[in-house]
Chain A
Amino acid sequence: AQKVTQAQTEISVVEKEDVTLDCVYETRDTTYYLFWYKQPPSGELVFLIRRNSFDEQNEISGRYSWNFQKSTSSFNFTITASQVVDSAVYFCALNPFIQGAQKLVFGQGTRLTINP
């Protein structure tokens, strides 16, 4: 069975603080993909990053960075020097290596509020 857990339901920080969103996943597959999506107040989910299970290199994109650790089944997301525009709900998701449609399994989401 596939499962994604985002234990932090809500986080509130002051602008310019660094913040880390946790994601822990469960799967028996050896090949799989992990994703992070952002859902701003407008509603649509926006794709942020994809990681495959064989690539444990950390990735940095501007103020965003991701730490993938297979040993702890975690794929954490850090925002450095947070800004008010980062306020949104963030979802971590898991997709096994399959044929056909992409059947993402989402975590419950973390609501991040950045206060000015």
Chain B
Amino acid sequence: ETGVTQTPRHLVMGMTNKKSLKCEQHLGHNAMYWYKQSAKKPLELMFVYSLEERVENNSVPSRFSPECPNSSHLFLHLHTLQPEDSALYLCASSQGGTGGFYEQYFGPGTRLTVT
């Protein structure tokens, strides 16, 4: 069983809906990440929470809003999305701290379709 779980696995929503993606890690890590994976594009880092620090990718539209209530849980709140936001959204976790040493552990992703 994976140490990082994501719900829901599939989501279809209209452009006027509001929904949230949930991620939970059971690995004792202190950093969590949201990635967007679109067809034929590299994985795009959207948000990072590490040791209570939030790091944003400035190119992410404000219709995506992250929330990290504690080191084990991460949410991505979605509102008034566009069809081009349809993608696989991946959550990951890792140890934080100095260095680039720590590998990230990924969840299975939420396949989002915006109609």
A interface list, Cβ under 8 A from B: 4, 31-33, 35, 37, 42-47, 50, 52, 91, 95-104, 106-109
Question: Is B58 an interface residue when CB atoms closer than 8 A count as contact?
Answer: no
Contact with A along B86-115 (1 / 0, CB 8 A): 001010101011111111111111010000
Question: Is B53 an interface residue when CB atoms closer than 8 A count as contact?
Answer: yes
Contact B97 A100 (CB under 8 A): yes
Main secondary structure of the interface of A (DSSP, over half): loop
Expressed in whole angstroms, the Cα–Cα distance for A14 and B104 within the complex equals: 31
B interface list, Cβ under 8 A from A: 2, 4, 31, 33, 40-43, 45, 48-51, 53, 55, 88, 90, 92, 94, 96-109, 111
Residues of A within 8 A of B109 (CB): 43-44
In the complex, which of the residues B4, B41, B48, B101 contacts A33, with contact meaning CB atoms closer than 8 Å?
Answer: B101
Given contacts A44-B90, A45-B90, A101-B55, contact A106 B98 (CB under 8 A): no
Contact B100 A102 (CB under 8 A): yes
